[in-house]
Amino acid sequence: MINYFVKFDDLSLTSLQLFSYEERGESRVETKNLADVKDSFIPGSSLFVMLPSALFGFYSTDNDLGLKDEILKANILSESEDGLISDISDLKFFFHPSLKLASWINQNTFNSVAEHFNEFDGDIYFYPEHFLLPDGINSIYIYENSFFCAFKDLSGFSGSNESLENYLQVLESDGQDLNALEAFGEEDLDAFNKFRKLNFKKMQFSDLHISFINNQRFNNVNFFQRKFSINYFKQKLKFNSLEFLGLSFSAVFLLLAPLVISYNLNSSINSYKESTVKIFQQLNPSFKKLVNPRAQIDDLTRNIPKQNTISKQDLSILQYLQRFKDESIKNLSIDLQKQEINIFLEGMPVYKLNALKQILQSEKLTFIESGLAKKNESFFGNLLVRYES
């Protein structure tokens, strides 16, 4: 795995140096623009974005009262308002209990950088740059055209080397003993004659990075919080567009299927209830509400007279009539209670009527032809047939 470090050249956060360290010990430094870092980044690696400490404000606190979220933010920023140059609502606030350190940075500045790294396929970490310096001492690192310093309470600052002399004077005026300030750099401090009073030690900038990787102090601290992104999700799962589309469709189907099934069930239940209510209203027009269907149907049908059962002969006659089809038979109705069959004829020839009687002569039937009228050797009207069970 490769570890990358980003060092910004100035507070505009547009140009930077990208340091990379491979496990076999090889290292590389590239000058990049912020938008081009992804071209050099190998997926699955770790990237440490070291933001200029001058962009942050810091406040050391134990938070003994156990304040949280907006209350803690308001309490700390109200105590630090004399040093704030931005409106409180414009600040992104952090509190890390393990470090006993509160910090804040302009929200727009932070978000503009974070969005560049949100879709990187790897582990992304944001820290103030002075976190690179050794723990437990007041120290400063002088690098090419810039410096950054750290104090025992984990607060810090950074700036250009042109402003370093003024910054050291400010520290002295605040009571800071510069002789107790550990100074590090890649070049001999002879290049900075006016800073000879500093306790200077040579240290390669890459040594700060290696030491930071091996330091366990900040393992549980990260100023970067990744926001959900479809593109990052696709990269993480190694899906192509077609596979991701299929996965999305499947996920949507799994989410919607229970809702559709539930809707269909509720629709069927409501339809069943409506049909049941209609049946009840046919039995009793004053029926209003369905409560206990079984008990209610028993109550509604209690006084209905029992119907005669259909005998085998009833079924036999029905079978005969079903088979006898003729266009002159316009309507046929059966009253099982009265044991009567009404056959409405329209132009049935005499021979066909005789054939009908012949077909049914084996049954105990009575043909009543009083409702028939004969015209041109054909019958019109109602033929009544009575039978016995």
The token pair that represents 238 in the structure block: 């190694």
**Whole-angstrom distance, CA of residue 79 vs CA of residue 369:** 114
Task: Give the helix ranges, DSSP H, for 284-381.
Answer: 293-300, 312-323, 350-359
Domain that residue 293 falls in = 241-300
**Closest Cα to residue 7, out of 209, 253, 268?**
209
Would the pLDDT of 139 be above 70? yes
- Do 58 and 144 lie in a common domain? yes
Render pLDDT for 249-263 as a digit per residue (tens, 0 to 9). Answer: 777 777 887 888 888
- Do 194 and 138 lie in a common domain? yes
3-state helix, strand, coil in the chain (%, to 5): 40, 30, 35
- Please, are residues 52 and 158 in contact by the beta-carbon 8 Å criterion? yes
The CATH number for 342's domain is 3.30.1360.100
Would the pLDDT of 235 be above 60? no
- Do 141 and 279 lie in a common domain? no
Q: Which residue type, as a one-letter code, is found at position 75?
A: N
Q: How many domains is the chain partitioned into structurally?
A: 3
- Do 46 and 148 lie in a common domain? yes
Three-state secondary-structure class, residue 317: helix
Is 307 a domain residue? no
Output the pLDDT for position 5.
96
The CATH number for 88's domain is 3.30.420.380
Is 60 a domain residue? yes
Mean pLDDT of 343-365: 78
Give the DSSP letter string of 219-260: TT--S--PPP-HHHHHHHHT--HHHHHHHHHHHHHHHHHHHH
Mean pLDDT of 77-90: 75
Output the pLDDT for position 207.
94
- Do 231 and 344 lie in a common domain? no
- Do 127 and 220 lie in a common domain? yes
Is 306 a domain residue? no
**Whole-angstrom distance, CA of residue 374 vs CA of residue 340:** 22
- Do 246 and 138 lie in a common domain? no
Is 378 a domain residue? yes
- Do 254 and 116 lie in a common domain? no
Q: Which residues contact 62 (CB under 8 A, 6 or more apart)?
A: 100
Is 46 a domain residue? yes
Q: Which residue type, as a one-letter code, is found at position 289?
A: K
Is 100 a domain residue? yes
Residue 154 or residue 305, greater confidence: 154
Is 233 a domain residue? yes
- Do 278 and 368 lie in a common domain? no
- Please, are residues 125 and 3 in contact by the beta-carbon 8 Å criterion? no
- Percent pLDDT > 90 in the chain is 32
- Do 155 and 259 lie in a common domain? no
Mean pLDDT of 234-242: 57
Give the residues across from 47 on adjacent strands.
4, 124
Output the pLDDT for position 193.
58
Is 305 a domain residue? no
- Band the pLDDT of 247: cuts 50, 70, 90: low
- Do 145 and 261 lie in a common domain? no
Render pLDDT for 16-68 as a digit per residue (tens, 0 to 9). Answer: 999 999 987 788 899 889 889 989 999 889 999 999 999 999 999 998 888 88
- Do 171 and 257 lie in a common domain? no
Compute the mean pLDDT over every residue in the chain, rounded to the nearest whole number: 82
Last residue of a domain, one of 182, 204, 237: 237
Output the pLDDT for position 386.
82
